[in-house]
């Protein structure tokens, strides 16, 4: 886990932390905030490398060849602590934080700094956040705590107020497309479309190039079209995607509906996100009444929240319910 450089759109943020470090003024706790897909974890690990490396270069990056760097590269540096939700869980538990607090109060193994990365900090429940609070209030010397958050607003104010915020923003479209073209050997993708689908976040766009997701999107949108034309029934449709991530399906449906709403409001195809489906979206916007559209979006948002909250839902029933409602609303 040795990261030796940042993404090109993180130069300002890197300058900020590196300047502070050179002047020995880096806060003991940082909060990295920005939308998903901007590489905040990567940034945190690059910073961890910089702090733990015995010989960082002039730009502040880890050297890659000292003992500390070797330990990092082998995922075995004892003074880098990465806290993430445990496998299959969606939350960071109070036990994980209590263990962290215990470790932070011990002397470091390598006699230097210790770096803690909590990703995402918003996954801490109230008890976990409270357990961390004391460590933030009474910082241990030579310890840097980096919290990562996709939704800065959802963290308790007591936590936020004790961290220095580093804000990440999207690169320009030109910069992002240039980066995607370099990162992706397969140039057959429509990078501009991908970036739109990814809300401008380059790493999210890169993940979308994952063929499976792209195929799912095409399949799903084609299915919706057939459903609208009464050529397919909701149960057949929901049976098709039993084994897929519910969240991916819900997000794809919401993306589609948001475009329908955009078109209803403006009649402008140019502002749609799903540029490869403008004809179908325009067509649906004439069929779907606005109050039904809003009700459907509302319902999907609520379902999304339930899935996120890890409420144990019957997958089959959930998808059936979604597509039955969809069919009711879109058929005339
Ligand atoms: Zn090094």
Is 114 strand, coil or helix? strand
Strand partners, 33: 149, 167
Cα distance between residue 57 and residue 80, in whole Å: 20
Question: What does the pLDDT read at residue 332?
Answer: 53
pLDDT grade for 20, boundaries at 50, 70 and 90: very high
| Region 219-224 average pLDDT | 90
**Phi (first) and psi of residue 197, to 5 degrees:** -60, -30
Instruction: Lowest mean pLDDT of 3-7, 34-38, 150-154, 233-237, name the range.
Output: 150-154
Q: Tell me the CA–centroid distance for residue 50 and ligand 1, in Å.
A: 8
Q: Is residue 312 predicted with pLDDT exceeding 80?
A: no
Q: Tell me the CA–centroid distance for residue 195 and ligand 1, in Å.
A: 35
Q: Is residue 159 predicted with pLDDT exceeding 80?
A: yes
Question: What does the pLDDT read at residue 188?
Answer: 77
Please provide the average confidence, as pLDDT, over all residues in the chain. 90
Instruction: Lowest mean pLDDT of 46-50, 220-224, 241-245, name the range.
Output: 241-245
Would you list the DSSP string of 29-72? EEEEE--TTS-HHHHHHHHHHHHH-SS--TTS---SSSHHHHHH
Question: What does the pLDDT read at residue 116?
Answer: 96
pLDDT grade for 152, boundaries at 50, 70 and 90: low
Is 304 strand, coil or helix? helix
Q: Strand 143-149 relative to strand 29-33: parallel, antiparallel, unpaired? A: parallel
pLDDT grade for 185, boundaries at 50, 70 and 90: confident
Question: What does the pLDDT read at residue 40?
Answer: 97
Would you list the DSSP string of 146-192? EEEES-GGGS-HHHHTTSEEEE--PPPHHHHHHHHHHH-S-TTS-HH
In 3D, which of 74, 76, 136 has the Cα closest to residue 104? 136
Between CA 241 and CA 314, with CA 238 as vertex, the angle to 5 degrees is: 85
pLDDT grade for 80, boundaries at 50, 70 and 90: very high
HEC letters along 101-116: HHHHCCCCCCCCCEEE
Question: What does the pLDDT read at residue 228?
Answer: 81
Question: What does the pLDDT read at residue 163?
Answer: 94
ω into 120 cis (within 30 of 0) = yes
Cα distance between residue 189 and residue 46, in whole Å: 29
Q: Tell me the CA–centroid distance for residue 4 and ligand 1, in Å.
A: 9
Q: Is residue 90 predicted with pLDDT exceeding 90?
A: no
Q: Tell me the CA–centroid distance for residue 106 and ligand 1, in Å.
A: 23
Q: Is residue 109 predicted with pLDDT exceeding 90?
A: no
Tens digit of each residue's pLDDT (9 = 90 or more) over 240-296: 888 888 888 999 999 999 999 999 999 999 889 898 899 999 989 998 899 999 999
Q: Which alpha helices (H) appear in 229-311, and where do they start and end?
A: 234-240, 246-266, 278-287, 290-308
Q: Please report the domains of the chain, with CATH numbers, ordered by start residue.
A: 8-167 (3.40.50.300), 210-330 (1.20.272)
Q: Is residue 299 predicted with pLDDT exceeding 90?
A: yes
Q: Tell me the CA–centroid distance for residue 48 and ligand 1, in Å.
A: 11
Number of neighbours of residue 134 by Cβ within 10 angstroms = 9
- The sign of the torsion formed by the CA atoms of 299, 304, 305, 309 equals positive
Q: Tell me the CA–centroid distance for residue 203 and ligand 1, in Å.
A: 27
Q: Tell me the CA–centroid distance for residue 52 and ligand 1, in Å.
A: 7
| Region 292-319 average pLDDT | 87
Cα distance between residue 111 and residue 142, in whole Å: 10
Q: Tell me the CA–centroid distance for residue 51 and ligand 1, in Å.
A: 9
Question: What does the pLDDT read at residue 331?
Answer: 66
Give the single-character DSSP code of 200: T
């Amino acid at each position: 886990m040795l990261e030796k450089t940042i993404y090109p759109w993180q130069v300002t943020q890197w300058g900020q932390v590196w300047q502070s470090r050179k002047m020995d003024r880096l806060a003991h706790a940082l909060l990295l905030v920005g939308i998903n897909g901007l590489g905040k974890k990567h940034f945190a690990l690059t910073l961890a490398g910089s702090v733990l490396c015995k010989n960082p270069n002039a730009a502040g990056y880890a050297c890659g060849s000292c003992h500390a760097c070797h330990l990092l590269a082998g995922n075995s540096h004892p003074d880098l602590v990465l806290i993430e939700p445990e496998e299959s869980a969606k939350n960071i538990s109070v036990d994980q934080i209590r263990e962290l607090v215990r470790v932070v109060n011990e002397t470091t193994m390598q006699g230097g700094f210790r770096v803690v990365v909590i990703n995402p900090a918003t996954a801490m429940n109230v008890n976990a956040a409270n357990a961390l609070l004391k460590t933030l209030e009474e910082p241990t010397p030579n310890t840097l705590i980096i919290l990562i958050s996709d939704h800065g607003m959802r963290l308790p104010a007591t936590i936020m107020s004790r961290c220095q915020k580093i804000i990440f923003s999207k690169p320009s479209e030109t910069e992002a497309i240039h980066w995607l073209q370099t990162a992706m050997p397969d140039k057959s993708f429509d990078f501009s479309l991908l970036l739109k689908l990814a809300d401008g976040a380059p790493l999210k766009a890169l993940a979308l190039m994952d063929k499976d997701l792209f195929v799912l999107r095409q399949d799903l949108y084609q299915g919706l079209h057939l459903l609208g034309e009464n050529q397919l029934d909701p149960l057949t449709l929901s049976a098709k995607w039993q084994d897929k991530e519910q969240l991916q399906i819900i997000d794809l449906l919401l993306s589609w509906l948001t475009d329908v709403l955009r078109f209803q409001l403006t009649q402008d195809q140019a502002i749609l996100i799903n540029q490869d489906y403008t004809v179908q979206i325009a067509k649906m916007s004439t069929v779907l009444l606005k109050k039904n559209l809003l009700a459907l979006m509302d319902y999907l948002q609520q379902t999304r929240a339930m899935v996120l909250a890890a409420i144990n839902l019957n997958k089959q029933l959930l998808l059936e319910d979604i597509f039955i409602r969809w069919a009711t609303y879109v058929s005339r």
